[in-house]
Structure formats: structure tokens, C-alpha cells
Amino acid sequence: MSGDDNAYRPPAAREPEIITSPQNPLVKNVVKLSDRRQRDRQERLAIEGYRAVSRALDNRFVLEELFFCPELYLGTNEPDLVARVGAAGARLTQVSRPVFEKIAYRDRPEGLLAVAPQFRRPLQDQLPDGKSFFVVAESIEKPGNLGTMLRSCDAAGVDALILSDPRTDIFNPNVVRASIGTLFTVPVWQADTPTCIQWCRDHGVHVLAATPHTDLLHTDVDMTGPIAVVMGTEQVGLTDAWMDAADLQVKIPMYGQVDSLNVAAATTILLYEVVRQRRAAGLMA
């Protein structure tokens, strides 16, 4: 925590209680976490859904509180997860359906929502290994895109997602939702763009910039060495700083009438070209 005397701190652990009033202070505080200023002031985030909560727990993230509503469960595994979260030290609170629907971010809530401390990993503190495989997301604006990029990073075995001059809060509930819990499986590092570029140079990580403004196809370059696949904003792509710093500029071929893909879709295509090449070279199973 930041040491702010006004920052929210969860009550001491006790036996599970049942809350039926939307006016309960605990309920009101969870609702506040939809606002970035409140998340940052409290240094906390909300984690909703079975897969997201279980992945956070499985990857040893601290869960401070868990709100659960059996009436909304989608399967039969939820009680076991609730018990595991409680055994790990979280405060357990059962809530009525109207209360859960008030705190939920999903259109179809699953009856599980945890609250956890935020985590920060400055890029400067990180060291790559010899076969490094990174994605750099420069100023991505849409939470859904960032969450989907995390999901693709997990699937492709990326070592870390690096946020360069981030515009979207990585703890936005829509990022957590779109990532289906891979926010807790993929390391997320962040820094400003000059620091990111210098870090890549210092550690021998080749920068591959995705852009439609080149003739070089993504399948025609060697991606088997240490590499950072750099993706730009949804509207204008990468800034000149990244384009100038790139060791390679590549494009994905387009055969229709549109000239670009959604940034999350383009990221997935490029990552699986890295996987294809590394598998062929015996670098990935």
C-alpha cells in the first residue's frame, strides 16, 4: 500500500457473512473500483469470473476478499474454488443476487468477484534470457484489445508483455475480463518509450515493428532470436520513435479492401509466426 491514511484497507479476516443490502460499505467500495482514480488510490483491482479468480489463485496472487453468489454459479466447481480462496487467507462474503449484480462488471455475472492488491513491475528491473520473446504494446487505448493481447501472449508462450507509454489501465475490469485471467499468467512490465527502446538495445533484443507501410512480409524474416514484436495504437499505429528504432519493419499481407487488422488480431498472427519458426528450429516443443 502507499501509506495513504485515507486509503481503503480490508477488514480483518473473519467467518463468512451474508450481505443483502446494496448500501453495505463493502459493496459500495467494490463498486468504486470501476473508477481508475479509486483503484489507484486504494492500489487494488477487481477480478471477476471463475477462470480469472482461479488463475490469480493458481499463480500465487494475493486475494484479499471474495464476494460470491451461489445463485449465479454456472457449474459445480465454484464451491471448491471459494474454499480454496478462503484457505489462502481471503475474506469470504456471500451476497444476494441483487447485490452481486450491482458489483459485477459482466453482463452475465458468474457469481464470483475477488479483490486483490495491484502489482507494478518496472521494465528497468527486468532481465531477459537468451531466447527472449516479448510483445511491446505502445499506447493501446481499448481495454478489450489489451486483454485479448494478453490472452494471445499466454497462448504463444510470450515471456512478457511490455507496456510502452500505456494509455489504458492494465487493471481496468474490461482488461481483466478480456484476458480471461491471463493478466495473472503473463508478466506485465512497463516504461516510457525511450526507456523501452534503450532496454531492448542494452539486452540485445531485436525490435520488430508491425506496419502496413513496408514491402517486407512477416513470414520472410527470421524471428528465432531474441525479439520484441511491437504493436502500435489502434488509430495511427506506431510512433516515429519505434519505427526509427526497429531492426525490422514487417507487414501482414492484406488481400481484401481493408488495409489493416484489429491490433489484437494482428498481434496474434505475428506471435504465431514466431511460434512456427521457433518450433521448426527446435526452440519450442
If you average pLDDT over residues 113-129, what whole number do you get?
95
If you average pLDDT over residues 79-95, what whole number do you get?
97
Q: Would you call 85 exposed, middle or buried from its count of C-beta atoms within 10 A (0-12, 13-18, 19+)?
A: buried
Q: Which amino acid is at 95?
A: V
If you average pLDDT over residues 135-146, what whole number do you get?
97
Helix (H) or strand (E) holding 177: helix 173-178
Entry pTM: 0.92
Dihedral pair phi/psi, residue 257, rounded to 5°: -95, -20
Eight-class DSSP state of 176: H
pLDDT recorded at residue 129: 83
pLDDT recorded at residue 131: 83
Question: pLDDT, tens digit, for every residue of 47-83?
Answer: 999 999 999 999 999 999 999 999 999 999 999 999 9
Whether the per-residue pLDDT at 113 is higher than 50: the answer is yes
pLDDT recorded at residue 260: 85
Which residue ranges make up each domain of the chain?
A: 17-117, 123-280
What Å distances lie between residue 95 and 69, 72, 212, 238, CA to CA? 5, 11, 50, 45
Q: Please say whether the beta carbons of 51 and 183 come within 8 A.
A: no
> What is 196-248 written as a DSSP string?
HHHHHHHTTPEEEEE-SS-S-BGGGS--SSSEEEEE-BTTTBS-HHHHHH-SE
- Write the CB contacts of 93 (distance below 8 Å, at least 6 apart in sequence): 16, 17, 18, 19, 26, 65, 66, 67, 68
pLDDT recorded at residue 17: 85
Whether the per-residue pLDDT at 11 is higher than 90: the answer is no
If you average pLDDT over residues 241-267, what whole number do you get?
95
pLDDT recorded at residue 1: 44
Reading the block at residue 92, the C-alpha cell is 469470504
Q: Which band of pLDDT confidence, cut at 50, 70 and 90, is reported for residue 12?
A: low
Q: What percent of the chain lies above the pLDDT cut of 70?
A: 95
Whether the per-residue pLDDT at 9 is higher than 80: the answer is no
Q: Which of 80, 75, 72 is nearest to 108 (CA)?
A: 72
Please tell me which residue, 235 or 219, carries the higher pLDDT value. Answer: 219
Please tell me which residue, 1 or 197, carries the higher pLDDT value. Answer: 197
CATH homologous superfamily of domain 17-117?
A: Ribosomal protein L30/S12 (3.30.1330.30)
Q: Which of 7, 101, 121 is nearest to 48 (CA)?
A: 101
The rounded distance, in Å, linking the Cα atoms of 145 and 247 is 25
Architecture of domain 123-280: 3-Layer(aba) Sandwich (3.40)
Question: pLDDT, tens digit, for every residue of 166-196?
Answer: 999 999 999 999 999 999 999 999 999 999 9
**86 CB-side CA count, 13 A:** 16
Whether the per-residue pLDDT at 14 is higher than 90: the answer is no
